[in-house]
Amino acid sequence: MELDKDFSEKALYDFKLIEEALKGNQSAYAELMQRYNRSLYHTILKMVRNVDDAEDLTMEAFAKAFKNLKKFKKDYTFSTWLFRIATNNCIDFIRKKKLQTYSLDSFYTDESGEDISLDVQDYQLNPQEEAIKAQKAELMKEFVAKLPPKYRKLVTMRYFEELAYQEIADELDLPLGTVKAQLHRARELLYDFVKDKKDHI
C-alpha cells in the first residue's frame, strides 16, 4: 500500500488502532490514549503553564478526538490530528481566560516533528464551532452522569459552572488540596469511561 511508504510504523499502527476503535474495540481507545497522553499533556502544559488546566485540557482533547474519530482521514498521522485538536482547544481556553502565553503566531511541533500552525480566527464562534462546543458538552455530560455523586458535583462545578478551584473549595467548605485531589480522581474515572463502557458506580 502507498501508506507504507508515506508513514512510519508507529503511524501505521495508530491507523490499525483507529480501525479497531471504530469497530467498538474499547481497548484500542485505551491504547491510543496511553500512547499520547504524556506527550500531549506536556505540549498543553507549555501553552497554558498550569498543571490543573493542562490536565483538564488533555482530557477534553481526547474526548473530542474520540467523539470525531470517524471523521479522521489518513492524509496525515493521528498524532498530528490529535495535537491540532488539542492546540486549537487551548487557543479557545487562552482567549477565554486571557492568559499570558507564548505568541500565537509561533509554531508548535507534535511528537512526529511536524509543525502545527495555531491559526487564530475571529474571536466570535462561528456556527460550526458552536456545534462542536455543544457536542463536546454533551459528550462530557454522558461521562459525568456515570460518576459517583461527590465527583459528579465537583466536575459539574468545575466544567459546567466554570468555577475556579478556590471557589469550589469555599462553596463546599473543603480544603483546596482536597478539591484538587478529588477532581484529579474524577478525571481518572472519566478516562476510564473513555476506555470502556462499564458502569463504574
pLDDT tens-digit map of 2-53 = 444 578 899 999 999 999 999 989 889 999 999 999 999 998 988 888 888 8
Contact in structure between 97 and 89 (CB atoms under 8 Å) = no
What is the biggest distance separating any 2 CA atoms in the chain, rounded to whole angstroms? Answer: 60
d(CA 192, CA 128): 29
Fold of 125-201: Arc Repressor Mutant, subunit A (1.10.10)
CATH 1.10.1740.10 fits 1-120, yes or no: yes
Contact in structure between 68 and 21 (CB atoms under 8 Å) = no
pTM over the 0.85 mark: no
pLDDT under 70: residue ranges of the chain? 1-5, 98-140, 193-201
Contact in structure between 33 and 41 (CB atoms under 8 Å) = no
Query: What's the chain's average pLDDT?
Result: 77
> Where along the chain do the CATH 1.10.10.10 domains lie?
125-201
Burial class (CB within 10 angstroms; exposed 0-12, middle 13-18, buried 19+) of 12: middle
> Where along the chain do the CATH 1.10.1740.10 domains lie?
1-120
